Amino acid sequence: MTALPSLLRQSFTNFVEGLAVAIPRLLSGAIFLALAYVTVRIVLALIRSSIERLYVGDRELVGDLIVTLVAIFLWFGVALTFLKVVGMGDIAASLGTAVGFIALGVSYALSEMIEDTVAGVYLLRDPDFNVGYRVEAKGVTGTVAAIELRKTRIDTDAGDRIVMANREIEPRWTHDVPE
């Protein structure tokens, strides 16, 4: 019978010692999250204001994509650092590695979509490829109606609207300059 009170006393002592170690880590984590939140918001605001000056009008999609990618990387870094601050560095390392492998698999699965997006960025930045220009691409001749990140819409002379993936247009197209 004397073992039970001793076991309870030891369990309570271990709990209090664990709590004494955990409270400073949790407070450090909370302070880190507050500072990280403010810092990330300021950095994203600065990036967004800079990007908005570079990408105006129909090119805002490119700017939004850049800001979103930066935000994802910043918040992921904050999450991993938070885990490290609260004493879960091994979990942070494992999570970082796992997310890397997952990202590799997702990028492989979405390779055509990523290729369309990259080609769309190039087309949006190209001064010779704009809405209203006559172009010929992949055997289709017409007027560019819209350029989006993944697709371009071309109105043909016959009145049809052709929607083409940007990866098909970007490598080879011709600007039809009027005489």
Higher-scoring residue by pLDDT: 130, 68: 68
Question: What pLDDT, on the 0 to 100 scale, is given for residue 107?
Answer: 82
- Dist CA 48 CA 45 (whole Å): 5
Helix/strand/coil for 156: strand
Whose tokens are 């560019």? That residue is 144
What's the token pair of residue 158? 């016959």
Q: What is the dihedral of CA 60, 66, 70, 72, to 10 degrees?
A: 90
Question: Given pLDDT bands bounded at 50, 70 and 90, which one contains residue 5?
Answer: confident
Helix/strand/coil for 140: strand
Give how far the C-alpha of residue 150 lies from the chain's centroid of Cα atoms, to the nearest Å: 16
Task: Note the pTM of the prediction, 2 decimals.
Answer: 0.60
Radius of gyration of the CA atoms of the chain, in A: 27
pLDDT, averaged across the chain: 84
Question: Does the pLDDT value for residue 173 go beyond 80?
Answer: no
What's the token pair of residue 141? 């001749």
Report pLDDT digits (tens) over 36-92. Answer: 999 999 999 999 988 888 777 666 777 788 889 899 999 999 999 999 998 888 888
How much is the average pLDDT of 85-114? Answer: 86
DSSP H or E run through 80: helix 60-85
What's the token pair of residue 130? 């704009």
